């Protein structure tokens, strides 16, 4: 057996699929982002700023932390979509034919009840999903495909954020993504589709994950893009 598989090493695995490399790239990005926020906090403490001075700076630091989180989720969701959406044999770990098992498994790993969006109305069928690494813990990815072969990813990550945030949009090298946080869960919907269609999909995902369903009031969409 060793002779048969001896030539199969990490070097023969495509670089974009090496988990170690993906994790290393994630850590480097996190260190750069978190370094900026830590530096701001250190400056605040070293300067001995207190009272209303610190009170005035708190929203700035909070905004910076939120921006770091959003950027991290955007980066990871887009990278995951770019990596796995092109796979022909292994785009997912667990297929849609085992949807119940997939949801139970990923919900248990994330420690949060997950709902698989039904996007059939917009022509996207569930292919399956997979577990992914993230700095704050495991992340979940559900992948979809339409009749033309266009693939779409729904990325979920548990975060230490209460309440909800507005929809944010980014586009990078042809891949667009909408991101928001609701009830401790960060969502990112990524695909190479027009922004209008992606927004409709994001709205459906938001409503299907809301206790109010289709009556849920959508958060405002940010015009920010990068």
Domains and CATH numbers, the chain: 1-226 (3.30.200.100)
61-85: per-residue pLDDT in tens? 345 566 777 888 899 999 999 999 9
Sign of the torsion formed by the C-alpha atoms of 109, 97, 120 and 151: positive
Place of tokens 């850590």: 27
Q: 115-129, 148-162, 202-216: lowest mean pLDDT where? A: 202-216
Query: What predicted TM-score, i.e. pTM, was given to this entire model?
Result: 0.73
The candidate with the shortest Cα–Cα distance to 123, out of 201, 210, 205, is 201
| 3-class SS letters over 118-178 | CCHHHCCEEEEEEEECCCCCCEEEEEEECCCCCEEEEEEEECCCCCECCEEEEEECCEEEE
**Span 117-152, pLDDT tens digits:** 999 999 999 999 999 998 888 999 999 999 999 999
For helices 19-46 and 51-84, give the axis angle rounded to 10 degrees: 170
């Amino acid at each position: 057996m060793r002779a048969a598989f001896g030539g199969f090493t990490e070097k023969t695995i495509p670089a974009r699929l090496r988990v170690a490399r993906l994790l290393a790239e994630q850590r480097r990005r996190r260190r750069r982002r978190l370094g900026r926020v830590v530096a701001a906090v250190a400056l605040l403490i070293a300067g001995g700023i207190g009272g209303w001075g610190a009170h005035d700076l708190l929203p700035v630091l909070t905004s910076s932390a939120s921006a770091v989180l959003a950027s991290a989720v955007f980066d990871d969701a887009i990278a995951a979509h770019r990596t796995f959406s092109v796979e022909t044999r292994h785009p997912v770990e667990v297929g849609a034919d085992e949807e119940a098992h997939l949801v139970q498994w990923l919900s248990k790993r994330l420690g949060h009840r997950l709902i698989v969006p039904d996007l059939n109305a917009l022509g996207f069928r569930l292919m399956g999903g997979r577990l992914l690494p993230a700095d704050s813990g495991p992340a979940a990815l559900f992948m979809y495909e339409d009749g033309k072969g266009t693939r779409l990813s729904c990325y979920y990550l548990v975060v230490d954020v209460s309440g909800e945030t507005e929809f944010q949009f980014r586009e990078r090298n042809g891949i667009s993504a909408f991101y928001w946080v609701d009830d401790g869960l960060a969502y990112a919907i990524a695909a190479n589709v027009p922004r209008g269609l992606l927004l409709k999909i994001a709205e459906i995902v938001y409503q299907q994950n809301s206790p109010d369903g289709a009556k849920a009031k959508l958060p405002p969409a940010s015009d920010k893009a990068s």
